């Protein structure tokens, strides 16, 4: 299953860190232990999200049920609600619903009705659409109800507005003028306290990776478009799985989703999952897959275009759960229809039916592919943490080795020992001067290339305001704005990261030469920690956002949630939603935020540079001073020959213990 390998590696790294922290004590090995610990804690609390998208009636609910290993979502779920459903593992079943009026409701499965899962029943109730309303665009009507400050009056002009939305967004040709009374009935009964917008569903799922979240988003071709909350889930997801039937392979909704809805950054995490493979011969599937690769090669790499059959995986799950073939056939007409084909394959191949079903469902290959791709970033974080632990052990080993050599001299020749202490301290003083020069040189070189960065920023200033201003669609305007913010974020992060990369390179070259010349171990400082502190101090957000977590959505003091509030245009005594005015206000708001952020970027980069260099200078000076103080204490320490021998034995034991512990990181060094 997805995440299992990562979980094993992560747990090993946590164990290695705990061992390192315990054995390290108060020895300064150049690693910021608090910063490293914060990364470990963040890793423990992190969520891994698979966001599932696709058209209404594309088999998305069936696919998610197959993914979960149990049939949780009801049929036609996305016809009834435009809410986001986030599914995760919990000890017992529970449902948390947030409604459009802000009200929240929680339902837990109880022990008094063992054959009824109250949370699951409530989910089905929320998602169920009444038969009489199946011919009207309920998700579009819900959108208007949510965005209106007063109860809607169903007028001829409003019906015509809905009709226009329907004609532009759907292949359906329902004549809403014939449904006026039904529309009035729906609007009259439907209020904000009955419209769910976010649903959290915890369930005792049978997977080991507790942090995994499956997010079911509304159909991308649903009326009303991809809502803001769905868009944010796509932005934050580790992988986006777009579900589409394998035949016909071409999808206008996918084209629009890629080119007009999700950001360019989200596009880099997108998979196309072609379903219903079990309905077609293998030769047809190969042709259809090749056609999909040809059609979407500019948007999705070939290795991220996958073919599966969700129904076969569900039947496999049923057999694994102990159900008989008779029970499976009675539970679903679809399952009953497809089973004979694979029973024949099972007989012909002389293999168990459940093994054949799993093979032809192709889910194992999908799991492997998604896991390999989407775990790259988390695994990189683990490797960076291992790198820090490795450097810490190496520095400790060098320090203990140096101290052993000095104490041995103290035992044999106290005068030579004292001279050695003085020699090392003098060398450290020279290293301190060298670090000041390195610090100054780095600052000058980065300010020297600042003009090149200005050119990149100036290009952004011309590119995105024009794209935003010329767009006539809410989703496209939103996409361009987030693309702009993501580019700025890349420039910001790239600048800080390049400081660490360049300084690391210079310190390695200088340190190697200096150590060879002076025969000492030079002090180290944690450059990633310095980078993190400099960024946080330069991009202060506390005064603006209080305790709310900051992310790239919150640039410039104007968060996207605020910008996304629909504009209200006063007409007499009522306030009604005006889409054109909303679009106009969005463009103005987005451009205002963009200019504010991009204008401040050069000065903020200078601030990051100054803070970075200042912090490096202070921490390096402190590390050198601390090392010199330790050496002076060694020199002044009065010991008998017996005490010196005892200290040598103690140091040898510590060094041996560190070598033993460092074996752990070497074992898991390559993830």
Residue 556 has pLDDT above 60, yes or no: no
The arithmetic mean of pLDDT across residues 259-280, rounded, is 94
CA gap 549, 437 in Å, rounded: 38
Q: What are phi and psi of 30, to 5 degrees?
A: 85, 5
Measured in residues, the chain has a length of 671
Residue 545's pLDDT is what?
A: 29
CA gap 522, 624 in Å, rounded: 8
The model carries a pTM of 0.84
pLDDT in tens, 193-236: 989 989 999 999 988 888 899 999 877 755 555 567 778 889 99
pLDDT in tens, 324-350: 999 999 989 999 999 999 999 999 999
pLDDT in tens, 467-481: 999 998 888 999 999
Residue 244 has pLDDT above 90, yes or no: yes
Q: How confident is the model at residue 548 (pLDDT cuts 50, 70, 90)?
A: very low
Sign of CA dihedral 54, 59, 61, 65: negative
Q: Of the ranges 38-47, 291-300, 340-349, which one carries the lowest mean pLDDT score?
A: 38-47
SS3 470: helix
Q: Are 328 and 319 in contact (CB under 8 A)?
A: yes
Distances 468 to 312, 472, 473 between C-alpha atoms, Å:
45, 9, 10
Beta strands 574-577 and 568-571: pairing type? antiparallel
């Amino acid at each position: 299953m997805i995440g299992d390998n990562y979980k094993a590696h992560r747990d090993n790294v946590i164990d290695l860190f705990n061992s390192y922290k315990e054995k390290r004590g108060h020895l300064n090995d150049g690693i910021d232990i608090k910063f490293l610990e914060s990364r470990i804690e963040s890793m423990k609390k992190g969520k891994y999200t698979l966001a599932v998208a696709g058209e209404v009636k594309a088999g998305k609910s069936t696919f998610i049920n197959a993914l979960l290993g149990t049939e949780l979502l009801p049929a036609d779920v996305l016809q009834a609600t435009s809410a986001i459903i986030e599914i995760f593992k919990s000890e017992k079943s529970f449902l948390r619903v947030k409604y459009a009026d802000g009200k929240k409701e929680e339902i837990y499965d109880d022990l008094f009705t063992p054959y009824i899962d109250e949370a699951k029943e409530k989910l089905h109730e929320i998602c169920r659409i009444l038969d009489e309303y199946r011919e009207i665009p309920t998700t579009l009507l819900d959108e208007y109800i949510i965005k209106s400050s007063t109860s809607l009056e169903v007028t001829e002009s409003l019906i015509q507005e809905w009709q226009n939305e329907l004609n532009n967004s759907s292949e359906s040709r329902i004549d809403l003028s014939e449904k006026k009374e039904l529309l009035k009935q729906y609007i009259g009964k439907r209020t904000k306290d009955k419209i769910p917008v976010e649903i959290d569903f915890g369930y005792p799922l049978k997977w080991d990776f507790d942090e995994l979240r499956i997010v079911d988003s509304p159909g991308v071709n649903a009326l009303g478009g991809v809502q803001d909350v769905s868009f944010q889930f796509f932005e934050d997801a580790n992988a986006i799985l777009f579900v589409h039937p394998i035949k016909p392979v071409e999808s206008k909704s996918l084209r629009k989703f890629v080119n007009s809805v999700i950001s360019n950054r989200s596009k880099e995490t997108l998979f196309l999952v072609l379903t219903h493979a079990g309905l077609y011969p293998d030769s047809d599937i190969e042709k259809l897959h090749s056609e999909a690769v040809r059609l979407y090669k500019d948007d999705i790499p070939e290795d991220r275009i996958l073919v599966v059959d969700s129904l076969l995986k569900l039947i496999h799950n049923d057999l694994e759960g102990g159900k008989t073939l008779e029970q499976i056939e009675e539970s679903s007409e679809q399952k009953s229809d497809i089973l004979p084909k694979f029973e024949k394959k099972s007989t012909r191949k002389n293999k168990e039916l459940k093994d054949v079903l799993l093979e032809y469902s192709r889910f194992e290959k999908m799991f492997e592919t998604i896991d390999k791709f989407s775990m790259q970033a988390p695994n990189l974080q683990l490797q960076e943490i291992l790198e820090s632990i490795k450097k810490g052990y190496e520095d400790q080993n060098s320090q203990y080795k140096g101290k052993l050599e000095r104490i041995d001299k103290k035992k044999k020749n106290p005068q030579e020992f004292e001279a050695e202490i003085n020699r090392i301290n003098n060398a450290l003083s020279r290293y301190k001067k060298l670090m000041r020069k390195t610090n100054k040189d780095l600052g000058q070189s980065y300010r020297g290339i600042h003009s090149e960065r200005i050119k990149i920023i100036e290009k952004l200033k011309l590119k995105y305001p024009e794209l935003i201003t010329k767009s006539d669609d809410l989703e496209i305007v939103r996409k361009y704005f987030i693309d702009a913010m993501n580019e700025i974020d890349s420039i910001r992060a790239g600048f800080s990261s390049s400081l660490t990369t360049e300084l690391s390179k210079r310190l390695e070259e200088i340190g190697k030469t200096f150590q060879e010349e002076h025969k000492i171990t030079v002090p180290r400082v944690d450059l990633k920690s310095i980078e993190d502190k400099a960024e946080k101090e330069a991009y202060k957000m506390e005064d603006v956002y209080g305790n709310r977590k900051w992310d790239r959505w919150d640039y410039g003091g104007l968060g996207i949630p605020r910008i996304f509030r629909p504009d209200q245009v006063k007409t007499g005594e009522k306030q009604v939603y005006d889409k054109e005015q909303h679009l106009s206000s969005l463009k103005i708001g987005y451009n205002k935020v963009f200019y504010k952020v991009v204008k401040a970027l050069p000065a903020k980069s200078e601030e990051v540079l100054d803070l970075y260099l200042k912090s490096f200078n202070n921490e390096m000076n402190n590390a050198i001073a601390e090392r010199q103080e330790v050496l002076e204490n060694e020199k002044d320490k009065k010991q008998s020959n017996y005490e010196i021998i005892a200290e040598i034995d103690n140091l040898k034991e510590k060094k041996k213990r560190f070598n033993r512990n460092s074996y752990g990181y070497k074992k898991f060094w390559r993830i």
